[in-house]
Chains A and B, each alone.
Chain A
Amino acid sequence: MGEIRDMMGTFELFQPMELEGALDLLRAHGSDAWVLSGGMDTFDWLKDRAKSPRVVVDLGSIEELKGIEANGDGIRIGAMAKVSEVATHPEILARFPVLAQAAEKVATPQIRNQGTLGGNLCQDTRCWYYRSGWPCYRAGGNICYANAPNSLNREHCIFEANRCVAVSPSDTAPALIALEAEMEIQSVRGMQRVSAEEFFIGPGTDITRMTVLQPSDLLTGIHIPGTWAGRPSYFEKVADRKAWDFALVNVASTLDVREGVIYEARIVVGGVAARPLRMHRVENAIAGRPINDETLEEAARQAVQGARPLRFNDFKIALTRNLVKRSIREARA
């Protein structure tokens, strides 16, 4: 059979006006259905015909999925809020700048205006072997093309390799984990909330998915509690280019510093594992210590404990070390 790429196939398009309608459609079509939010991940897949869903459910007309509003001492962000809205929202800028900074680093202005926060969180990995439609583990096959002796794996993982070595591409996910956010998930079974940290899963849990979402589930909103509002935080993304690029490694941190001593910290690194990785060991090691060179060195040591580079990504060890140090050293309220 001849192969066509970079040319979208045909599908049946549904544009429900209400959440209920979307959930009904997802239930009716099961794994034949594809959820479309901003399309920034979707259209890449569909144009490459590496995924050819029969049915596409476009969430773009559902008002209740949009908007950013106060919720107790925190905020709720609709999953369909544009990344650019998140980056420029006054309350997010004032109280949760680490999220605004992360959103500001996503892709390009055009993509931020089109892409949604929910989409940025639910997007699939960018492993080029997988996205080119190769029958790898993640695609249901029984090989990892990125982890052969000569494979091109500069962008791949240094932690939690488990048959698959792909990494989490999201810039906003580490920030939300650092802020102790919760994901609001709706399905025909009802609504549930899952911590951002548990929302993302590695290949050990399910090699075909990046999140806990099942085919008929929808991420409808993101809740950020007031816990970390106004506390020192830090976000940084290292990529080849300053725009239109995925992170080689990114880092987000929130710190509770009392009288010069770290009382509690949340440090999350993206681009190093299939899920954004919370650095529990670093957090434990620095708790109760002042921010000084010794603490930073200890943090750097702990950050890469157990890291295993692939052929072309040794630099991620040094980069993770340096970024984790920086996320503590440079954190500002």
Chain B
Amino acid sequence: MAAYRLIGTNQTPKDLRAKITGRAKYSEDFKADGMLFAKVLLSPVPHGRVSRLDVDRALAMEGVHAVITADDVPEVSGAAEPILTNEPVYQGQPIAAVAAVDETTAANAVEALNLQMQPLEFVLDPIDSLRPGGPNARPEGNVIVDGDLTEFKWTSEEVELMEGDTFPEDIRVTDEWSHGDLEAAFAESDLIIERPLVYQSQSHHPLEPRTAMAYWQNGKLYLHCSVQSTARTRPAVASSLQMEEEDVIIIGEYCGGGFGSKIAGTVTDRIPAILSRLAGRPVMMRVTRDEETYFGRARPGLQGWAKLGFRSDGRLLASDTIMIQDGGPFGRSGDFNSAGGYISLTYQPRAQRHRGIPVHTNTPPKSAQRAPGAVQALTMVGPLVDQAARELGVDRVDILEINSPPMGAVYYTPDETPLTSSFAREAIQRGREMFGWEQKRELSGQVNGSKVTGVGMSFSPYAAGSSGFDGLLVIRPNGRVTIHSGVGNLGTHSVFDTCMAAAEVLGVPWEEVEVVWGDTSKGLPWSSVQGGSQTTHAHTRANWAAGHDAKQKLQEIAAQDLGGSPDAYDVDGARVFQTGNPSVGMTFAQAAQRAIELGGRYDGSEPSDELHEMTVEAIRNNLVGEGLVGAATDTYSHEGATRSSMITFMVVEVDRETGMVEIKECLSVADCGTVLHPRSLAAQVHGGVLQGMSGARFEHWKYDPRWGINANKRLYTAKPMTILDIPESFEFEAVDLPDPETPVGSKGIGEPPVAAGSVAVITAISDALGGIYLGRTPITPDRILNALEGGTPGYRALQTHV
């Protein structure tokens, strides 16, 4: 492995002092002269039509400056999400908004809006919408097929099959794919397991609600918003407001968590922008926790069936799955479909069929949530693989290992996709040793008073990198290196960590590197979105490229002035010098001055054609003539799909008298290629495992079926896990082997830990219960106790929102 100075070491993230001292400014911390406050009128019903909305009284109130309704926002077509609407399709959808001198006045004005609504039929549980004559979430239908919203219903026989006791073979779906000879694979199987499964939807609930503040200056929109991605939010906002991109300035230096719900902002960010344009004053919209529950996005729940065929040695030969998606009212979330791909990636079944229906429901909008598709798929299917090990008498870790993707593996989505690398088996092996599996397995079922111990484990891979984006830096005549990062500061620190790649190439100590981020007016390069664990991979590459571009220019300038060929020069210690005679050289400061004098490609006057227009704009507006500009597009080879993975082990104690669970131990080993920044890696591994456990054990998503109203809009009733629920012992390691298809070798690791935590805790609880698999989430104490005591759970096997 290459010897790096920076990569793989712990460095202080550039925002750490600000965060710790409280100087960090989130959207809500900004103020502007004359700033108004916005409050929003939300739909009280899950589906209805505004029959009357009289704004005159509100508008006449003292201190009220603007009121907007659906008539004041750009129209959208089909099942797209509007900014405001006259036909709300979920409880809490914004109908109108008011801007006033303070929040109290704005809230009173919302209460003064004369709203009358005609309630329309609604549906919460996707299966209810698929019943013959069942309600549709939208008047035009309940599913999108070939881009069009249409109606899809099962026959009563199909409903009976779905809700019956055996795997539903003959049932129509909207989406289906397969590979291999499924029938033959089942015929060859020694064990077939089939059962109905539910993964409940869950809100993202980042700690920072999606508050936004907007003002206009010289025709340009300045939008302070809480977003995962900075560069990529600009086109999203411009497009939904029908504006030119260069007229939109996004300021989002800090983001208090997004988990997929703030990838490029949310449509509600546009409300203060529109109000501000109308009122001619800045407008702040502080989003409450209730509002976050409604329009803050959620992971789509899946309900369905799995039928798995295993060979006697535990090898998964056949996988047949049906997944019905609680898609919410807009668009067509892909989780139900990618779930099949993640089964293929994780367990490599020889033959597979994956069927599904993405059903629209009148529940809050769904979006990607950390490891979308995989969390649901593995949480549903993973415990069945564990059950198979138990029934076949196969070692429970061996079954994960023999089914995991080896180096050179492919998987199906259904397209056959090769992996750039997979060190899954190395990770599993290392995890087995570190955990001490051979000894720990003996803990299974050990009883201590009312408590019984269980041991669980999971293997979880996920997408880990894209490519083709730009890197940008400048070396100024003071010798300082400033790296521009269009990556959002979503809490993972990838915005800074990926800059290490450029600093590494230029041999600059981290303390001397400045990073510009979080404000598109400062000139940010074209970047990936901060989602799908792309960033570490994509932007170590882009910054590696920009670093090399700057190095090349330094070498050329030195050769020009000092003689010899550029290749004879190297860089280090803020100097470019002759490799054979280091005393011959010049400082970065001198080279930067020369770059300005030379102009052309050296100082950004003539940026390379390969750069994205956003990067070119950044150079033109902010950097031309400032110094030596390093700017490059990542054109490195990237053959195959980049995937990381993780193995997690867990030890739990279940109290058989109460159903309470205590997590005693948790250990994870990751394959994320070259470790870029150990502390950031720790944060991702631990945070992801906890988030997965939180969804599996705690998080509530309940709707009253009669009224269609949310039962857990407060954070304390949505129940994310607390600090007292975390494992007593929490360890991790990484195999730290470079991915050969990327220059630095690093892959993303934001997402594999989530399903790892979810499945490990479920299999551990099942182990403690002697092999009882509940087949649904969350596994709360009442459900554990019911399973142990033979109580009546109250819900049907596939019922959701309970």
B660 at the interface (CB under 8 A from A): yes
Residues of A within 8 A of B721 (CB): 241
Residues of B within 8 A of A311 (CB): 794
CB-nearest residue of chain B to A128: B711
Interfacial chain A residues near B290, Cβ < 8 Å: 5-6
Tell me whether A314 and B793 are in contact (CB under 8 A).
yes
> Bound state CA distance, A7 and B713, in angstroms?
14
Complex CA distance for A240 and B113, rounded to whole angstroms: 40
CB-nearest residue of chain A relative to B704?
A: A152
Q: A319-B658, A322-B658 are in contact. Are A7 and B719 (CB under 8 A)?
A: no
Write the nearest CB–CB distance from B608 to chain A, whole angstroms.
Answer: 50
Q: Are B794 and A3 in contact, CB atoms less than 8 angstroms apart?
A: no
Interface string of B696-736 (1 = CB under 8 A from A): 00101011111101011110110101111100000000000
A315 surroundings in chain B (CB, below 8 A): 659, 781-783, 785-786, 789, 791
Q: Is A292 an interface residue (CB 8 A)?
A: no
B657 within 8 A of A: yes
Contact B791 A240 (CB under 8 A): no
- Complex interface: chain A residues within 8 A of B707 (CB): 145
Q: How large is the interface on B (under 10, 10 to 19, 20 to 34, 35 or more residues)?
A: 35 or more
On whether the beta carbons of B794 and A314 are closer than 8 Å, the reply is: yes
Find out whether the CB atom of B711 lies under 8 angstroms from the CB atom of A152: yes
| A2 touching B289 in the complex, CB below 8 Å, given contacts A240-B719, A243-B723, A315-B786 | no
**Neighbour of A248 across the interface among B702, B782, B791, B802, CB < 8 A:** B782
- Report A-chain residues with C-beta under 8 Å of the C-beta of B41: 2-3
Please tell me if A154 contacts chain B, counting CB pairs below 8 Å. yes
- The residue that A4 contacts in the complex, of B107, B781, B789, B794, with Cβ under 8 A, is B107
One digit per residue, 1 when the CB lies within 8 angstroms of any chain B CB and 0 when it does not, for chain A 118-160 equals 0000000000110010000000000001001011101000000
B410 to chain A, nearest CB (A): 41
Q: Please indicate the chain B residues that have their CB under 8 angstroms from the CB of A316 in the complex.
A: 782
Interface membership of chain A positions 306-328, coded 1 if the CB is closer than 8 angstroms to chain B and 0 otherwise: 00010111111111001101100
B115 within 8 Å of A by Cβ?
A: yes
Q: How many A-B residue pairs have CB under 8 A?
A: 129
In the complex, chain B residues whose CB is within 8 Å of the CB of A148: 706
A130 to chain B, nearest CB (A): 12
- A residues less than 8 Å from B426 (CB atoms): none
Residues from chain A with Cβ under 8 Å of B658 in the complex: 236, 238, 319, 322-323
Decide if A264 is an interface residue (CB 8 Å cutoff): no
B722, A1: Cβ atoms closer than 8 Å = no
Question: Is B724 touching A243 in the complex (CB atoms < 8 A)?
Answer: yes
Once the chains bind, are B110 and A317 in contact (CB under 8 Å)? no
Q: Which of A238, A240, A248, A325 contacts B698 (CB 8 A)?
A: A240
Q: Is A4 in contact with B723, judged by CB distance below 8 angstroms?
A: no
Chain A residues closer than 8 Å to B288, beta-carbon distance: 5-7
Segment 109-156 of B: residues with Cβ below 8 Å from A: 110-115
- Complex alpha-carbon distance, A240 and B700, angstroms: 10
When chains A and B are docked, how far (Å) is the Cα of A240 from the Cα of B795?
A: 18
Of the listed residues A7, A9, A154, the one surrounded by the most CB atoms of chain B closer than 10 A to its CB is: A7
Given A3-B44, A318-B789, are A238 and B781 neighbors across the interface (CB < 8 Å)? yes
Could you tell me if B724 and A241 are in contact, using CB atoms closer than 8 angstroms?
Answer: yes
> Which residues of chain B from 751 to 802 have a CB within 8 Å of any chain A CB?
780-783, 785-786, 788-789, 791-795, 802
Cα–Cα distance between A5 and B292 once the two chains are bound (Å): 12
Chain B residues with Cβ below 8 Å from A10 are 104
Report A-chain residues with C-beta under 8 Å of the C-beta of B313. none
**A41 is an interface residue with CB less than 8 A from chain B:** no
Contact mask A4-44 → B, CB, 8 Å, 1/0?
Answer: 11110110000000000000000000000000000000001
Smallest CB separation, B656 vs chain A (Å): 9
Interface residue B741 (Cβ < 8 Å from any Cβ of A): no
Which residues in A have their C-beta under 8 angstroms from that of B208?
none
A41: min CB distance to chain B, Å: 12
Q: In the complex, are the beta carbons of B44 and A241 less than 8 A apart?
A: no
Given known A1-B115, A314-B786, A315-B659, contact A132–B719 (CB-CB < 8 A): no
By beta carbon, the residue of chain B nearest A48 is: B290
B103 within 8 A of A: yes
With both beta carbons as reference points, the residue of chain A lying nearest to B705 in the complex is identified as A150
Also in contact, A1 and B113, with CB within 8 A (given A242-B722, A243-B723, A243-B724): yes
Residues in A with CB closer than 8 Å to B795 are: 312
B626 within 8 A of A: no
Q: Could you tell me the distance in whole angstroms from the C-beta of A109 to the nearest C-beta in chain B?
A: 10
Q: Which of B373-400 contact A (CB under 8 A)?
A: none
Is B299 positioned at the interface, with any CB of A under 8 Å from its CB? no
Q: How far is the CA of A240 from the CA of B658 in the complex (A)?
A: 11
Min distance, Cβ A165 to any Cβ of chain B, angstroms? 14
- Which of chain B's residues has its CB closest to A108's CB? B722
Please provide the chain A residues from 232 to 268 with a CB less than 8 Å away from any CB of chain B in the complex. 236, 238-245, 248
Give B617 Cβ to nearest chain A Cβ, in Å: 40
Point out the residues of chain B lying under 8 angstroms from A312, CB to CB: 793-795, 802
* Interface of chain A, main secondary structure: loop
Is B42 at the interface (CB under 8 A from chain A)? yes
CB distance from B790 to the nearest CB of A (A): 9
CB-CB under 8 A from B705, the residues of chain A are 150
Would you call A152 and B719 a contact (CB within 8 A)? no
- When distances are taken between beta carbons in the complex, the residues of chain A under 8 Å from B111 are 1-4
Shortest C-beta distance, B788 to chain A (Å), equals 8
Considering the chains assembled together, what is the distance between the CA atoms of A44 and B715 in angstroms? 12
**Nearest CB on A from B659, distance (A):** 7
Please name all residues of chain A whose beta carbon is closer than 8 Å to the beta carbon of B700 when the two chains form the complex. 240
* Residue B291, interface by CB 8 Å: yes
Of B114, B716, B724, B725, which is in contact with the most chain A CB atoms at under 10 Å from its CB? B716
The answer on a CB contact under 8 Å between B115 and A6 is no
CB distance from A312 to the nearest CB of B (A): 4
How far, in angstroms, from A5 to B713 measured CA to CA in the complex? 11
* Closest Cβ–Cβ distance, residue B85 to chain A (whole Å): 15
Q: Is the CB of A132 within 8 A of B709?
A: yes
CB distance from B211 to the nearest CB of A (A): 13
In the assembled complex, the Cα of A325 lies from the Cα of B656 at a distance in Å of 13
A235 to B110 CA separation, bound complex (whole angstroms) = 47
Can you name the residue of chain A whose Cβ is closest to the Cβ of B717? A128
Q: Is B39 an interface residue (CB 8 A)?
A: yes
Docked pose: A317 CA to B792 CA in angstroms: 11
Distance between Cα atoms of A5 and B110 in the complex (Å): 11
Q: Which of A66-124 contact B (CB under 8 A)?
A: 108
Contact indicator A314/B39 (Cβ below 8 Å): no
> Residues of A contacting B291 with CB < 8 Å?
6
Question: Chain A contacts of B107 at CB under 8 A?
Answer: 4, 7, 9
Interface string of B428-462 (1 = CB under 8 A from A): 00000000000000000000001000000000000
CA distance A6 to B716 in the complex (A): 14
- Distance in angstroms from A298 CB to nearest chain B CB is 17
Known: A314-B791, A323-B658. A6 touches B39 (CB 8 A): no
Complex CA gap A132/B702 in Å reads 14
Expressed in whole angstroms, the Cα–Cα distance for A248 and B713 within the complex equals 19
B702 touches A6 (CB 8 A): no
Bound-complex Cα distance A6 to B703 (A): 19
Mark out the residues of chain A between 169 and 201 whose CB falls within 8 Å of any chain B CB in the assembled complex: none
Nearest-neighbour CB distance to chain B for A114, whole angstroms, equals 14
Please name all residues of chain A whose beta carbon is closer than 8 Å to the beta carbon of B789 when the two chains form the complex: 315, 318
Q: How far is the CB of A132 from chain B (nearest CB, A)?
A: 7
List of B residues within 8 angstroms of A243 by Cβ:
722-725
A311 CA / B793 CA spacing, docked (Å): 8
Once the chains are docked, how many angstroms separate the CA of A5 from the CA of B294?
12
- Least Cβ–Cβ distance between B582 and chain A, in angstroms: 59
List 21 contacting pairs A-B, 8 Å CB cutoff, sorted by A. Answer: A2-B58, A2-B110, A2-B112, A2-B115, A3-B111, A6-B713, A7-B288, A10-B104, A128-B717, A148-B706, A152-B704, A152-B711, A238-B659, A239-B781, A240-B700, A314-B786, A315-B782, A315-B791, A318-B791, A319-B785, A323-B658
With A243-B722, A243-B724, A315-B783 already in contact, 12 other A-B pairs whose C-beta atoms are closer than 8 Å = A1-B112, A3-B41, A4-B39, A7-B39, A145-B707, A154-B782, A238-B659, A238-B781, A245-B716, A313-B794, A318-B788, A322-B657
The 6 closest A-B pairs by CB, nearest first: A242-B724, A6-B290, A2-B113, A6-B288, A322-B657, A312-B794
